[in-house]
Every structure is written in structure tokens, then in C-alpha cells.
């Protein structure tokens, strides 16, 4: 059994760890509220914009969507992997990284796949398996639509120039603080809803459907990427808050076990001292 000094040192160390994990939990909880409000307010707009674009595209010919709707034979694929810049958030980052590796080996086994990393953790690990063409970890330092729009425009230009035949996004979708769902979304080319039509509606389009679609596509793509990053950002803080809560609980449980061990060892030491004193007294009497 460890001596009393070693146990006391371990109890002190665990207490310090508990203070750190508890503080990190509170910080993430505060950031989560703001991030959750942002993605909750944005989702209806982003989903409606995408639905409108797909609905209009379904009623037009193949060339109406321009280069962004061009269906090509897939030989080179770009995966946008969205992770975080920091760890201590459970399986948040590893779930995206594992899904990227699995999805690539299953779906694009014979294709050439590059990674566009958004987040330091994803870049550091995926660069060992793939060719990472870019790492935009700094976007989380100032997460605004304009900054994300620049990233989206860069990816759109790569697709239009023919550098890639398909672009997909892999990220964690925020459900609640304890649950994040890994999502795979097609970014380019634009998907159409087969069989969807506006023939039963009485809309008047000015200047016309094709012009509206061409105007909406860049905005919709930028919004889609911004929503995915916002989702991932909220998921990160939810995952970290949950992970730090569990870490604090585990540390408290370990501390209680060590306190019990310490008290037992201390009681045993006191009992031994009493027995030695009594034994000494008896020896003096005889």
C-alpha cells in the first residue's frame, strides 16, 4: 500500500485537475449557448435556400445551373473535413477523421482524393493519410460569413477550373450538448431533386428561373459551408462540455476512493502506534 504522503500528493493532484476540468466545462457551456443560438437561427434560412435552389434546378435543363451543376465522370475528389483546433472534446475530432478515411476507402477507393482541412486537429492527422491541399484553422479565430465565403469561393473556383470532379463536406452536426451526428454532404456539383416541379404553383419569376438559379448558386454554396462550420463549432463546445463534465465526475470519484484509502491507512498507522505504546507499557510492568 502506498504511504500516506504519496496518497496525499495524489489527492492534491486530482483536486487541481478537477478545478481545471470544471473551469473548462463552464467556459464551453458559456460558448455553447451563443454557438447553439447562432446555428438554430441559421438552419431554417439555409435549409429553405437549398430547398428553393434544388426545386428550381429540377425544372430547368442541365445547362441552367452553369458550371456548378455540371456532372462529370469522377476521377478526382476533394473532401472538406471540418474539425476543431483544440482537443479535450471526447470523440469529436476522431469521429470526423475516421469517417473521412472510411468514406474514402469505401466510396472513392479507386479515385484520387485530396483533403481541404478546416481545423488544426483534422489537418495534423489526415495529412498522414492524404494530400491536404489547404488548412484553414484560423477561420475559427473570427468565424464570420465573409471569412467562410472566401473559403467557399476558393473551392468553387477549383471545381470550375476542373481540378476536382466532386466536392463533399464531412462534419459534426449539432443535435444537443451530448449528441453530435457525423454528416456527409455533397457540396459540388449541385444536386437536383428528381421529379420535383413547380408546375402546380403560380410563381412569377423575374428576370427568370435560370437567372435566379445562377444568382442563388454561389450564395447557397457559401451558406451551406457556413452552416456546416457553424454546426461543427457548436458541436465542438457541446462535446467539450460533456467530456469535461465526465472528467470532473471521474476525478471526484477517484478522489473519494483515495480519501477512503488514505483514511484506512491513517487509521491503521494510528492503531499500530497505540499497540506499540500498550506493548511497551506492558513490558515495563513486567
Q: What is the pLDDT of residues 214-262, one digit of tens each?
A: 788 899 999 999 999 999 999 999 999 999 999 999 999 999 999 999 9
Residue 65 has pLDDT above 60, yes or no: no
Domain harbouring 42, CATH code: 3.40.1380.10
- Higher confidence at residue 105 or residue 194? 105
Residue 196 has pLDDT above 60, yes or no: no
Active site residue 152: no
Task: Note the pLDDT tens digit of each residue in 83-103.
Answer: 999 999 999 999 999 999 999
Q: What is the mean pLDDT of the chain?
A: 88
Question: Among 25, 49, 76, which Cα is nearest to 249's?
Answer: 25
Please give the pLDDT value at position 105: 92
| Residue 2 forms part of a structural domain | no
Catalytic residue among 18, 89, 139, 217: 89
| Residue 54 forms part of a structural domain | yes
- Higher confidence at residue 213 or residue 127? 127
| Residue 276 forms part of a structural domain | no
Residue 121 has pLDDT above 70, yes or no: yes
> Using CB atoms within 10 A of its CB, is residue 42 exposed (0-12), middle (13-18) or buried (19+)?
middle
Cα dihedral 93, 97, 100, 104 in deg (nearest 10): 180
Strands 166-176 and 179-188: antiparallel
> Which pTM was predicted?
0.85
Rounded percentage of the chain residues whose pLDDT exceeds 90: 64
Task: Note the pLDDT tens digit of each residue in 234-245.
Answer: 999 999 999 999
| Residue 182 forms part of a structural domain | yes
Cα separation of 107 and 44, whole Å? 30
SS (H, E, C) 67-105: HHHCCCCCCEEEEEEECCCCCCCCCHHHHHHHHHHHHHH
| Residue 189 forms part of a structural domain | yes
Cα separation of 111 and 16, whole Å? 50
Please give the pLDDT value at position 202: 61
| Residue 12 forms part of a structural domain | no
Q: Residue 115 is part of which domain span?
A: 25-193+203-243
Q: Which residues touch 104 (CB under 8 Å, ≥6 apart)?
A: 77, 79, 113, 130
Task: Note the pLDDT tens digit of each residue in 197-210.
Answer: 544 556 677 777 77
User: How many structural domains comprise the chain?
Assistant: 1
**C-alpha cell, 281:** 507499557
**C-alpha cell, 236:** 465542438
Q: Is residue 157 within 8 Å of residue 175, measured between CB atoms? A: no
**C-alpha cell, 245:** 463534465
| Residue 100 forms part of a structural domain | yes
Please give the pLDDT value at position 274: 87
Amino acid at each position: 500500500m502506498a504511504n500516506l504522503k504519496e496518497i496525499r500528493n495524489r489527492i492534491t493532484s486530482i483536486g487541481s485537475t478537477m478545478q481545471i476540468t470544471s473551469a473548462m466545462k463552464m467556459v464551453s457551456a458559456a460558448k455553447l449557448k451563443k454557438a447553439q443560438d447562432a446555428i438554430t437561427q441559421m438552419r431554417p434560412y439555409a435549409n429553405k435556400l437549398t430547398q428553393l435552389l434544388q426545386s428550381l434546378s429540377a425544372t430547368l435543363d442541365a445547362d441552367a445551373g452553369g458550371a456548378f451543376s455540371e456532372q462529370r465522370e469522377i476521377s478526382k475528389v476533394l473532401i472538406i473535413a471540418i474539425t476543431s483546433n483544440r482537443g479535450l472534446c471526447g470523440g469529436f475530432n476522431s469521429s470526423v477523421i475516421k469517417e473521412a478515411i472510411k468514406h474514402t476507402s469505401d466510396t472513392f477507393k479507386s479515385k484520387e482524393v485530396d483533403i481541404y482541412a478546416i481545423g488544426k486537429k483534422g489537418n495534423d492527422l489526415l495529412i498522414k493519410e492524404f494530400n491536404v491541399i489547404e488548412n484553414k484553422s484560423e477561420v475559427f479565430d473570427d468565424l464570420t460569413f465573409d471569412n467562410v465565403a472566401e473559403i467557399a469561393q476558393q473551392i468553387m473556383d477549383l471545381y470550375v477550373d476542373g481540378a476536382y470532379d466532386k466536392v463533399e463536406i464531412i462534419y459534426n452536426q449539432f443535435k444537443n450538448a451530448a449528441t453530435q451526428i457525423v454528416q456527409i454532404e455533397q457540396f459540388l456539383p449541385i444536386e437536383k431533386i428528381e421529379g420535383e416541379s413547380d408546375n402546380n404553383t403560380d410563381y412569377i419569376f423575374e428576370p427568370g428561373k435560370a437567372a435566379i438559379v445562377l444568382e442563388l448558386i454561389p450564395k447557397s454554396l457559401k451558406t451551406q459551408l457556413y452552416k456546416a462550420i457553424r454546426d461543427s463549432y457548436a458541436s465542438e463546445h457541446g462535446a467539450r462540455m460533456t467530456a469535461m463534465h465526465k472528467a470532473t465526475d471521474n476525478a471526484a470519484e477517484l478522489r473519494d476512493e483515495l480519501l477512503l484509502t488514505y483514511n484506512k491507512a491513517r487509521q491503521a498507522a494510528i492503531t499500530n502506534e497505540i499497540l506499540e505504546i500498550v506493548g511497551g507499557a506492558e513490558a515495563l510492568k513486567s
